[in-house]
């Protein structure tokens, strides 16, 4: 038995080193925030060959040790040819006054944001130009309508918008065809007035759905 072990160790020493990790055919990935931060900031060699990657989910990141810099995130996502689905859940980010946000063009078809900090949400939209965006889903994120910005897409899904968000101001700058509101006290009379207005820059939508789920 010792002879077998010795022969195995000898063979291991004489064998060629393993090839570097690569996953050029990767299409779906789910990663926690800490590992996503590492990918975006350190950019290991295998991330240079992700031309097939289409679905990304990033979840659960706090700033206890490190923070997630959206400039790094934007640069990483910009290098991907096109993202069919991108989702952030319970993620926070870093805002370094010495490194102001960089404008970035992102190719994303479906974007989901859930339980994000207010500043991350604002920074993401104000400084990322979303190209070919089809669906935007926002759940339990603060939407401060006083900080307006233009956005164009087909379908809007909002859930958990509070009644103090000034949502009608924000929606006046968004162009979409279908909207759904679930458990949204922020869907109130000003929203309805905006829907029915014929004024320029008023909210236009061809399909509207409002629902409330039981607890």
Within 10 angstroms of residue 194's Cβ, the number of other Cβ atoms is 18
Q: Residue 73 and residue 93: Cα distance in Å, rounded?
A: 10
Residues sharing a CB contact under 8 Å with residue 80, sequence separation 6 or more, in sequence order: 50, 51, 53, 107
Q: Residue 20 and residue 43: Cα distance in Å, rounded?
A: 14
Q: Residue 93 and residue 68: Cα distance in Å, rounded?
A: 4
Per the confidence metrics, is the pTM higher than 0.85? no
pLDDT at 207 over 90: no
Instruction: For residue range 93-118, list pLDDT tens digits in order.
Output: 765 656 677 788 889 999 999 988 66
The candidate with the shortest Cα–Cα distance to 91, out of 122, 113, 65, is 113
Q: Residue 16 and residue 22: Cα distance in Å, rounded?
A: 17
Confidence of residue 210 (pLDDT cuts 50, 70, 90): low
Domain boundaries, the chain: 22-211
**What residue ranges in the chain does DSSP mark as E strands?**
28-32, 55-61, 83-91, 104-114, 128-131, 135-139, 151-152, 155-159, 174-175, 178-182, 207-211
Q: Alpha helix locations (H) across the chain?
A: 2-14, 33-42, 70-78, 118-126, 167-171, 189-196
Instruction: For residue range 2-45, list pLDDT tens digits in order.
Output: 454 444 444 444 555 456 778 888 999 999 888 998 999 899 99
| CA-to-CA separations, 51 to 46, 86, 96, in angstroms, rounded | 11, 15, 30
């Amino acid at each position: 038995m010792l002879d077998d072990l010795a022969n195995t160790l000898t063979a291991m020493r004489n064998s060629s080193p393993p090839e570097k990790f690569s996953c050029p055919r990767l299409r779906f990935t789910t990663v926690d925030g800490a590992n996503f931060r590492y990918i975006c900031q350190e950019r290991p060699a295998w991330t240079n060959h992700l031309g097939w990657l289409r679905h990304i989910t990033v979840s659960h990141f706090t700033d206890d040790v490190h923070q997630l810099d959206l400039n790094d995130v934007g640069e990483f996502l910009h290098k991907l040819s096109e993202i069919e689905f991108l989702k952030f859940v319970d993620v926070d980010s870093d805002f370094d006054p010495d490194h102001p946000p960089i404008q970035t063009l992102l190719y994303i078809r479906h974007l989901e944001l859930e339980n994000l900090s207010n500043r991350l949400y604002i920074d993401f939209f104000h400084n990322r130009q979303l190209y070919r965006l089809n669906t935007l889903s926002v759940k339990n994120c603060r939407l401060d309508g006083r900080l307006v910005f233009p956005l164009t897409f087909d379908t809007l899904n909002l859930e958990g918008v509070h009644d103090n968000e000034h949502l009608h101001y924000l929606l006046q700058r968004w162009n979409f065809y279908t909207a759904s509101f679930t458990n949204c006290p922020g869907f109130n009379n000003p929203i309805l007035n905006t829907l029915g207005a014929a004024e320029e820059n008023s909210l236009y939508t061809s399909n509207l759905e409002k629902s409330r789920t039981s607890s």
